[in-house]
């Protein structure tokens, strides 16, 4: 059998060309993969009441990107960050993420969204297959739930379940020592508040079984007036209060509870207190609020962490937030993975990222690990302590034990049907 000998392009070649064209249109970052600079897209919240989340995330990324570029770039390619405002709306976050890849030609994504937006960006990453690192969402199910698992998505963030295990254990020890049996809770009425409170009380009761929750309050997110919540808690007369209010909501709550002298009447455990955003804004910070560490330059108490916090303050004239270190860690992980893979190809980086351990100023032992099986960060510094109204704000932090955290996390995953 002979070929037809017709001039022009054969049917097979045409199909191959069409196929290549389709792939190029659908995955434009492939076509641009060899450009000199590498664009990394980042949807985050740059306007609205939590705009500080986005700006401190951007700052955390940029401080590390500048270092990577100064050292020769990501596997030899200079990084160009393309950072866009999602306004904190999930549908906008998904749209922006898609646009960053399809229109702007970003080859990698850093997802600087709060939990609600992260799940939306996660679906974009699933659809486009682009490497994505979630840098802000603490919702445990984002990586714990196997239904969410995709090979190209990772999370460089503390997890709600880790905080709850450490917080529950810390609070239970104080409960036993001081005889705090009657507890109240106060949390913002949305997924984060409900989940975190549920997980905290689960471990509090596990470690101190005689604890009883006698009152719970669920103010709206961004509620301006907490008077009725404060007086309701005062009426219940608990011995201790747990709250996961955060940011401006937490500072409002403290100001309003302060004039009722609430902090003198009970022990207060506020997981989000020890972040500079809240610590530096509250003018009359009561002494002795128990808090989880968010970002404190004195914990871990290492020269590397202190130097990083000071460098950030020198550059941006404010201290880093919890989101800053998480975003910085994402760039550190990317940089090391690209170096080891000697490539900026998302798939190759993902292969190295899974299970990668790097030196990091925020690590409990000076390192953090991107766990291989569920693509989430472990080994970061995590602990609780009590606040004072001036620097260092949390003079002593009781560090959580990662061996216990991982054991209990495995149990929790099993109980949720995740493993």
Partner 1 sequence: MDLDALTGCLASSACLVTQTTSGFIIGMLLFLVAVGLTLIFGVLKVVNFSHGAFYMFGAYFAMTAYQLTGSFALAIFCGAAGTAILGLAFERVFMSRVYGGDVLMQLLVCYAFVLIFDDVVKLIWGPEFKSMGMPAAFQVPPLFIAGGVVPPYYLLLIGVALAVAAVLGVGLARTRIGKVIRAAAHNPGMVSALGINTGLIYGGVFALGGMLAGLAGALAAPVRSLTPGMGFSVLIESFIVTVIGGMGSILGALIGALLIGMIRSFGSLGFPLFTDGLMYLFMVIVLVARPTGLFGKEVA
Please report, as ranges, the residues that interact with partner 1 according to CB under 8 A. Answer: 46-49, 51-52, 55, 216-218, 220, 222-225, 227-232, 234-235, 247-249, 251-252, 255-256, 258-261, 277, 281-284
The dihedrals phi and psi of 133, each to the nearest 5 degrees, come to -115, 120
Q: Which is nearer to partner 1, 42 or 106 (CB)?
A: 42
The dihedrals phi and psi of 217, each to the nearest 5 degrees, come to -125, 140
Instruction: Output the smallest distance, CB 397 to partner 1, in A.
Output: 24
Instruction: Output the smallest distance, CB 316 to partner 1, in A.
Output: 12
Instruction: Output the smallest distance, CB 121 to partner 1, in A.
Output: 22
Instruction: Output the smallest distance, CB 317 to partner 1, in A.
Output: 11
Instruction: Output the smallest distance, CB 365 to partner 1, in A.
Output: 33
Q: Which is nearer to partner 1, 79 or 282 (CB)?
A: 282
Q: Which is nearer to partner 1, 100 or 230 (CB)?
A: 230
Instruction: Output the smallest distance, CB 285 to partner 1, in A.
Output: 10
Enter the tokens of residue 3.
């070929």
The angle that helices 322-341 and 303-316 make with each other, rounded to 10 degrees, is 110
| Strands 240-243 and 182-186, bridge-based pairing | parallel
Q: Which is nearer to partner 1, 220 or 359 (CB)?
A: 220
Q: What's the CA gap between 363 and 349, in Å, rounded?
A: 21
User: Under 8 Å CB-to-CB from 4, ≥6 apart: which residues?
Assistant: none
CB 307, CB 291: distance < 8 Å: no
Q: Which is nearer to partner 1, 207 or 260 (CB)?
A: 260
* Beta strands, E only, 4-162: 38-44, 79-85, 108-111, 131-134, 153-155
Task: State the residue for tokens 């009359």.
Answer: 284
Q: Which is nearer to partner 1, 176 or 194 (CB)?
A: 194
């Amino acid at each position: 059998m002979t070929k037809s000998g017709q001039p022009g392009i054969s049917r097979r070649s045409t199909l191959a060309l069409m196929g290549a064209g389709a792939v190029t249109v659908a995955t434009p970052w492939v076509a641009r993969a060899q450009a000199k600079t590498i664009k990394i897209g980042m949807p985050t919240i740059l306007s609205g009441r939590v705009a500080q989340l986005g700006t401190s995330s951007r700052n955390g990324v940029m401080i590390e990107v500048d270092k990577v570029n100064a050292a020769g770039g990501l596997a030899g390619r200079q990084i160009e960050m393309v950072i866009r405002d999602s306004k904190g709306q999930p549908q906008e976050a998904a749209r922006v993420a898609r646009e960053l890849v399809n229109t702007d030609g970003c080859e990698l994504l850093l997802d600087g969204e709060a939990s609600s937006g992260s799940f939306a960006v996660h679906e974009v990453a699933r659809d486009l297959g682009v490497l994505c690192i979630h840098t802000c969402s603490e919702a445990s199910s984002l990586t714990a739930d196997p239904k969410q698992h995709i090979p190209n998505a990772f999370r460089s963030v503390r997890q709600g379940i880790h905080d709850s295990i450490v917080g529950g254990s810390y609070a239970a020890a104080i409960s036993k020592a001081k005889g705090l049996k009657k507890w109240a809770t106060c949390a913002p009425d949305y997924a984060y508040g409900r989940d975190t409170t549920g997980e905290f009380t689960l471990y509090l009761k596990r470690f101190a079984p005689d604890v009883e929750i006698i009152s719970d309050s669920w103010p709206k997110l961004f509620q301006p007036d907490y008077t009725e919540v404060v007086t309701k808690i005062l009426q219940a007369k608990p011995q201790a209060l747990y709250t996961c209010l955060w940011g401006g909501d937490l500072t409002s709550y403290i100001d309003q509870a302060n004039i009722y002298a609430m902090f003198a009447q009970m022990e207060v455990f506020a997981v989000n207190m020890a972040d500079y955003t809240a610590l530096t804004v509250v003018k009359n910070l009561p002494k002795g609020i128990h808090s989880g560490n968010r970002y404190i330059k004195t914990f871990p108490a290492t020269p590397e962490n202190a130097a990083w916090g000071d460098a950030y303050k020198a550059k941006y004239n404010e201290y880093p937030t919890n989101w800053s270190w998480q975003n910085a860690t994402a760039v550190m992980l990317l940089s090391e993975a690209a170096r080891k893979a000697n490539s900026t190809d998302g798939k190759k980086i993902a292969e190295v990222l899974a299970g990668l351990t790097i030196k990091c100023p925020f690590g409990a032992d000076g390192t953090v690990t991107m766990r291989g099986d569920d693509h989430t960060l472990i080994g970061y510094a995590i602990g609780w302590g009590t606040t004072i109204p001036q620097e260092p704000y949390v003079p002593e932090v009781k560090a959580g034990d990662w061996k216990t955290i991982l054991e209990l996390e495995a149990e929790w995953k099993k109980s949720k049907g995740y493993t």
